[in-house]
Amino acid sequence: MHLLFLGDVVGRPGRDVVTEHLPRLREELRIDFVVVNGENAAAGFGITKKICDELFEAGADVISTGNHVWDQKEALHFIADEPRLLRPLNYPAGTPGKGVGLFEGRNGHQVLVINGMGQLFMHALDDPWALIEQELANAPLKQVADAIIVDFHAEATSEKMAMGHFVDGKASLCVGTHTHVPTADTMILPGGTAYQTDAGMCGSYDSVIGMDKTEPVNRFITKVNSSRLEVASGVGTLCGTFVEVDDQTGLARRCEPVRVGGLLTLAMPEV
């Protein structure tokens, strides 16, 4: 089985590069299941139903999110009717939507997707460790799920790495999101789980993490917020992680970065 995870989609450049390249990547890489983190897809802040539909039409099977999931208030309403849109599972009880789901991929594969959010330098949410451990116990690899993807949306690289080791041997892929810069540590952990500290973003890298450079640079220099942040224009880069899963074990056989378009160096797995 082949999995593709795409990092945070940031604004129009991110949406454009995903809709341009994802249909082709699904075919060329023979992808069975795609997860896209869409929490910054609407002008850099949140996601709308229209954008969800665009990403699903482009080939996303599931859309994960993070701390910006509620920036577009309409998400509080439509998320209840769209099981393919996840929010971090460690939001308090009663929060709209779900943070985990079992979905069907190509050829009938059952894929469990877990969306968690870290605690270091982030909103104070419930304990992600116990909740993720419980979800993995509820749907074990090759007993309930053919593959398991964990999107851990976190600020600290140490917390992301710790989560990777925590789920090692129990998930097919544990990948970090939120910091928008693709890390060079794509690997398979000792227990067989594919891992990357951050998948990077789908957006313009002629920017400050997807935003027009002028205001962020000004804030660092003057310590004054002089205007609102705006999504950077320019050609986007699609960034993500490709995983080949062993159909017998549900664990990873290969894990490689994917980068297409824009300013970053091309990275394309051979299939």
Q: Is residue 271 part of a domain?
A: no
Angstrom distances, CA of residue 29 to CA of 48, 128, 151: 28, 32, 21
Report the amino acid identity of residue 60.
Answer: A
Q: Which of 2, 21, 68, 180 is catalytic?
A: 68
Q: Is residue 57 part of a domain?
A: yes
Q: Is residue 180 part of a domain?
A: yes
Question: How far is it, in rounded angstroms, from Cα 202 to Cα 232?
Answer: 12
Let me know: does 172 contact 3? Beta carbons within 8 Å: yes
Which pTM value belongs to this model?
Answer: 0.97
pLDDT digits (tens, 9 = 90+) for 168-220: 999 999 999 999 999 999 999 999 999 999 999 999 999 999 999 999 999 99
Q: Is residue 267 part of a domain?
A: no
Q: Which residues pair with 201 in a beta bridge?
A: 8
- pLDDT reported for residue 107: 86
Let me know: does 3 contact 33? Beta carbons within 8 Å: yes
- pLDDT reported for residue 264: 98
Domain holding 145, by residue range, is 2-260
Number of structural domains in the chain: 1
- pLDDT reported for residue 13: 98
Active site residue 180: no
- DSSP E strands, the chain: 2-6, 8-9, 33-37, 62-64, 100-104, 110-117, 147-153, 173-177, 187-188, 194-196, 201-202, 238-245, 252-260
Percentage of the chain modeled with pLDDT above 70: 100
The enclosing domain of 194 has a CATH number of: 3.60.21.10
**To 10 degrees, what angle do helices 11-28 and 49-58 make?**
30
Where the chain has pLDDT below 50, the residues are none
- pLDDT reported for residue 187: 98
Q: Is residue 265 part of a domain?
A: no
* 111 three-class SS: strand
Per residue, the 3-state secondary structure of 214-248, as one string, reads HHHHHHHHHCCCCCCCCECCCCCEEEEEEEEECCC
Q: Is residue 238 part of a domain?
A: yes
Q: Which residues pair with 196 in a beta bridge?
A: 175
Question: How far is it, in rounded angstroms, from Cα 231 to Cα 40?
Answer: 10
Element (H, E) at 16: helix 11-28
